[in-house]
């Protein structure tokens, strides 16, 4: 043991020395940079008297610039090294494995940390990066024979010992020997910490099944179905860091993209990669993407607005239509309907808009259609559209020629400002005069007329080039109202609802992707080939259709898709099988399931899982804590006091993130108004990008993926939570809690809570 303390002290001193050296080197490079900048022009001989001299001058400028660039590059590398050393100085390693390879007499100790550290001569690893192939043994194996994949191939060895370390501010504080993959005690320690407003890294306690997912590179699709709190997001983030490390020569952070459920979540996870020493990847929300594509034309509904409607209008006729609308348009079947429609369009049915100029039609839509369908039918729709656009541009050019002598051009010519006139005159002056007329003034007038007509036709040309003469709205409507769908249950009502919404300029959330799909199939999709890895978190909240669309959008990318069906916001989105069908060929996918839940204490998770139809599918992690409480009150007034007391007692426990969760945003507002009289509370809405520690109130759907020390469900009554869908919302709410959970109910608690055995919680009834 003494050896370990001595080694820790040696590593600490070694890092300190390295830091000092690096600091000096960096200062040197900065000095160099400064000097090069100051003397840049002194070292360049400026001479442009002939071609040879000019070339020499340019070459000497280039040399100086390269010199500067080289210094800047080394300063960037050094700064990165400084950052790594800073992190290592705090906690240089967290684990050690003793491996004895075949033929070796003695085992080698392998120390594992956040980054690699080489010895003085750069020949030996003092610390191995947690992502190195050999480090995998630390996460996966128990004492005994092991193997791991090294660049040179599979290596067989004997794992003789395994140790874990705890460092604080660079000092070794504790160590544990373990025979298990990663001892429960260290994990318990990590999980007992308080929740924070940004996500933490888990590298020192990655579990075996998590490691499998982090390092899996077999197929194009990695799909992780994991129960609440099983580490799906953590795995996605550590996997991104792993991929960036393993493929550092070919991959950089800009080639990775993360689709998050909302901005709050994006912000919550944004600290993980930098903490692991990597640059952050691009973050995107589907809402953001859809808005970018359709926002100019429509008022695009987002997922939360759709949900808010679905959660608040359950008893209405419109709700039923909407439900069917979501069901239909989320399924892979809807893509088949659209594909059938696209096949029909080969022969007939593509609709266009009239090309109009100054109030009159230049090319009629029927003529465009005739031209389009006169083109050879073996040409794809996209190419026929291109050819039609080329034809239209020629027609526009002809029309533009005619318009030059029209009255409006004449009028505009007369109104032309001085500057335009001068420009035109200079242009004509500078040219050789036309030998037919020799009339300078006439030529100037002609040129001005040409300019005016050309400028007026520009917007139309742009419209043609972007294929906006295609009447996509009318085509989507035509598709929806097509007779062939009449027999499909509920399709006609859904079609009428959609046509009405589009007519009002509103794009329902469930329609946005199918509409774009149709549009892209006709116009050609603008794919992003630069992205190599797409990460989709909370994947259960994407429809099969949406996932299929994302797959098309990033044709070169591999996908990491993580989610939990028990936390679906819209159950209409379909089953796991449907989701897979939307993703592509199952043989292209690796499917991993996480059953163990780490976030919440055992009492909280044992209680929460009872809300699910199959509770046994969730394995709580064995961490002690208080039992959840259900408080039933007769009215909204009596319930306030115990709520405030619960929050105050959580604060007394020292908990810093306390969330009040509601079913809808509307209810969150009310809860905020009611409780603000007693406590300082932050209301978190969809527009929030971050939240502070303290007490926050927000709808359950915004709290997805996030966790809090203590959670209070504002009204868990049966009136609020009685549908199958709401059962899963309630489950999501309860599983946000790490240490404490209380549910308050005005009137009878949700039927799903009533089904839970009373031994799993504390009950309080207030009159």
Ligand X SMILES: Nc1ncnc2c1ncn2[C@@H]1O[C@H](COP(=O)(O)OP(=O)(O)OP(=O)(O)O)[C@@H](O)[C@H]1O
Residue list for the binding site for ATP:
226-233
Does the protein bind ligand X through residue 200 (CB under 6 A)? yes
Residue 750's alpha-carbon distances to 174, 743, 747, in angstroms, are 47, 10, 9
353 or 602: CB nearest ligand X: 602
Cβ burial 37-69 (10 Å sphere, 16+ → b, else e): eeeeeeebeeeeeeeeeeebbeeebeebeeebe
234 or 388: CB nearest ligand X: 234
Q: Where are the alpha helices (DSSP H) in 313-439?
A: 317-330, 332-345, 365-374, 381-403, 407-415, 418-430
Does the protein bind ligand X through residue 187 (CB under 6 A)? yes
Q: Beta 657-662 vs 355-357: how paired, if at all?
A: unpaired
The closest of 298, 244, 227 to 131, measured between CA atoms, is 244
The closest of 592, 578, 507, 587 to 548, measured between CA atoms, is 578
CB of 645 to ligand X, least distance (A): 27
CB of 116 to ligand X, least distance (A): 22
The 209-228 contact track toward ligand X, x by CB under 6 A, reads -x---------------x-x
- Phi first, then psi: give them for residue 326, nearest 5 degrees: -65, -45
The closest of 175, 204, 172 to 10, measured between CA atoms, is 172
CB of 222 to ligand X, least distance (A): 15
- Region binding ligand X by CB under 6 A among candidate stretches 115-123, 184-192, 398-406, 649-657: 184-192
Residue 430's alpha-carbon distances to 26, 423, 445, 536, in angstroms, are 58, 11, 15, 60
Does the protein bind ligand X through residue 230 (CB under 6 A)? yes
563 or 574: CB nearest ligand X: 563
339 or 690: CB nearest ligand X: 690
CB of 193 to ligand X, least distance (A): 8
Window 571 to 630, contacts with ligand X (CB under 6 A): 598-599
Distance in angstroms (rounded) separating the CA atoms of residues 286 and 303: 9
195 or 494: CB nearest ligand X: 195
Does the protein bind ligand X through residue 112 (CB under 6 A)? no
Sheet of strand 256-259: strand arrangement: 282-284, 256-259, 533-536, 558-563, 221-226, 589-594
CB of 625 to ligand X, least distance (A): 14
The 233-272 contact track toward ligand X, x by CB under 6 A, reads xx--------------------------------------
Distance in angstroms (rounded) separating the CA atoms of residues 622 and 191: 11
CB of 560 to ligand X, least distance (A): 12
Residue 751's alpha-carbon distances to 455, 565, 756, in angstroms, are 68, 21, 9
Q: Which of 114, 117, 137, 206 binds ligand X (CB under 6 A)?
A: 206
Going by the annotation, the residues of the binding site are 226-233
CB 215 within 8 A of CB 236: no
498 or 732: CB nearest ligand X: 732
CB 576 within 8 A of CB 561: no
210 or 750: CB nearest ligand X: 210
Does the protein bind ligand X through residue 232 (CB under 6 A)? yes
64 or 566: CB nearest ligand X: 566
Does the protein bind ligand X through residue 229 (CB under 6 A)? yes
Q: Which of 209, 400, 707, 726 binds ligand X (CB under 6 A)?
A: 707
90 or 461: CB nearest ligand X: 90
Q: Which of 112, 141, 191, 684 binds ligand X (CB under 6 A)?
A: 191
Neighbours of 748 (CB within 10 A): 12
CB of 230 to ligand X, least distance (A): 4
With CB under 6 A as the rule, give the number of residues binding ligand X: 24
Distance in angstroms (rounded) separating the CA atoms of residues 623 and 602: 5
CB 286 within 8 A of CB 304: no
Window 721 to 750, contacts with ligand X (CB under 6 A): 735
CB of 128 to ligand X, least distance (A): 19
Instruction: List for the chain the helix, strand, coil content (%; round to 5).
Output: 50, 20, 30
Q: Beta 299-300 vs 629-633: how paired, if at all?
A: unpaired
328 or 737: CB nearest ligand X: 737
CB 146 within 8 A of CB 85: no
Task: List, in order, residues 6 or more apart from 583 with CB less than 8 Å away.
Answer: 221, 223, 544, 547, 548, 551, 559, 561, 589
330 or 735: CB nearest ligand X: 735
CB of 217 to ligand X, least distance (A): 20
Q: Which of 705, 709, 741, 744 binds ligand X (CB under 6 A)?
A: 705
Comparing every residue's Cβ against ligand X, the nearest one is: 231
Q: Which of 207, 262, 656, 720 binds ligand X (CB under 6 A)?
A: 207
Does the protein bind ligand X through residue 190 (CB under 6 A)? yes
Residues in contact with ligand X by CB under 6 A are 187, 190-191, 200, 202, 205-207, 210, 226, 228-234, 564, 567, 598-599, 705, 707, 735
């Amino acid at each position: 043991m003494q050896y370990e303390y001595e080694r820790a002290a040696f590593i600490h001193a070694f890092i300190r020395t390295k830091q000092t050296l690096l600091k000096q080197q960096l200062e040197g490079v900065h000095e160099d940079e400064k000097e090069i900048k100051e003397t840049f022009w002194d070292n360049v001989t400026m001479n442009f008297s002939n071609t040879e001299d000019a070339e020499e001058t340019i070459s000497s400028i280039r040399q100086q610039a390269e010199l500067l660039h080289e210094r800047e590059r080394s300063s960037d590398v050094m700064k990165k090294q400084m950052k790594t050393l800073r992190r290592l100085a705090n906690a240089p390693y967290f684990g050690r494995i003793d491996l004895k390879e075949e033929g070796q007499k003695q085992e080698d100790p392998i120390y594992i940390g956040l980054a690699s550290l080489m010895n003085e001569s750069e020949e030996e690893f003092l610390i191995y990066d947690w992502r190195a192939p050999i480090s995998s043994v630390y996460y996966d194996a128990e004492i005994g024979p092991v193997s791991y994949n090294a660049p040179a191939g599979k290596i067989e060895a004997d794992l003789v010992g395994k140790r874990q370390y705890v460092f604080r501010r660079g000092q070794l504080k504790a160590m544990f020997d373990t025979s298990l993959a990663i001892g429960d005690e260290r994990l318990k320690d990590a999980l007992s910490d308080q929740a924070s407003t940004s996500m933490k890294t888990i590298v020192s306690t990655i579990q075996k099944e998590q490691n499998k997912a982090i390092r899996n590179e077999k197929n194009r699709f990695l799909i992780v179905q994991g129960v609440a709190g099983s580490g799906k997001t953590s795995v996605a983030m550590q996997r991104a860091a792993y991929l960036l490390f393993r493929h550092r020569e070919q991959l950089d952070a800009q080639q990775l993209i993360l689709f998050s459920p909302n901005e709050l979540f994006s912000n919550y996870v944004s600290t993980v990669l930098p903490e692991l020493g990597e640059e952050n990847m691009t973050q995107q929300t589907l809402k953001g993407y859809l808005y970018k594509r359709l926002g100019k034309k429509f008022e695009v509904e987002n997922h939360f607005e759709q949900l808010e409607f679905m959660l608040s209008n359950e008893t209405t006729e419109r709700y039923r239509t909407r439900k069917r609308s979501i069901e239909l348009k989320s399924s892979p079947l809807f893509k088949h309907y659209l594909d059938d429609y696209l096949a029909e369009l080969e022969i007939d049915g593509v609709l266009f808009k009239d090309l109009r100029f100054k109030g009159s039609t230049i090319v009629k839509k029927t003529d465009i259609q005739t031209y389009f369908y006169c083109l050879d039918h073996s040409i794809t729709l996209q190419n026929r559209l291109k050819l039609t656009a080329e034809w239209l541009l020629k027609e526009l050019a002809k029309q533009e020629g005619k318009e030059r002598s029209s009255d409006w051009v004449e009028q505009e010519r007369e109104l032309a400002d001085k500057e335009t006139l001068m420009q035109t005159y200079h242009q004509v002056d500078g040219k050789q005069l036309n030998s037919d007329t020799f009339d300078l003034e006439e030529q100037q007038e002609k040129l001005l007329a040409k300019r005016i007509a050309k400028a007026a036709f520009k917007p139309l040309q742009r419209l043609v080039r972007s294929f906006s003469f295609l009447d996509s709205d009318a085509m989507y409507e035509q598709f929806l109202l097509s007779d062939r769908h009449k027999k499909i249950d509920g399709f006609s009502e859904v079609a009428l609802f959609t046509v009405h919404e589009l007519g009002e300029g509103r794009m329902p959330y469930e329609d946005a992707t199918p509409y774009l799909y149709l549009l892209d199939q006709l116009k050609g999709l603008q794919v992003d080939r630069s992205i190599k890895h797409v990460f989709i978190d909370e994947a259960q909240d994407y429809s099969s259709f949406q996932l299929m669309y994302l797959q098309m959008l990033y044709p070169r990318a591999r996908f990491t898709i993580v989610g939990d069906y028990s936390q679906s916001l819209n159950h209409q989105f379909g089953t796991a099988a449907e989701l897979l069908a939307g993703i592509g060929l199952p043989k292209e996918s690796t499917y991993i399931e996480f059953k163990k839940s780490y976030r919440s204490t055992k009492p909280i998770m044992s209680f929460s899982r009872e809300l699910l139809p199959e509770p046994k599918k969730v394995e709580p992690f064995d961490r002690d804590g208080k039992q959840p409480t259900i408080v039933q009150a007769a009215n909204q007034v009596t319930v306030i006091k115990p709520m405030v007391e619960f929050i105050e007692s959580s604060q007394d426990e020292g908990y810093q993130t306390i969330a009040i969760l509601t079913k809808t945003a509307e209810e969150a507002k009310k809860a905020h108004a009611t409780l603000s009289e007693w406590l300082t509370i932050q209301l978190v809405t969809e527009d929030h990008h971050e939240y502070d520690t303290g007490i926050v109130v927000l709808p359950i759907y915004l709290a997805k993926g996030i966790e809090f020390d203590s959670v209070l469900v504002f009204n868990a009554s049966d009136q609020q939570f009685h549908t199958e869908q709401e059962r899963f919302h309630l489950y999501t709410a309860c599983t946000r809690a790490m240490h404490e959970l209380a549910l308050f109910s005005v009137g009878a608690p949700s039927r799903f809570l009533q089904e839970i055995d009373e031994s799993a919680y504390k009950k309080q009834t207030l009159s």
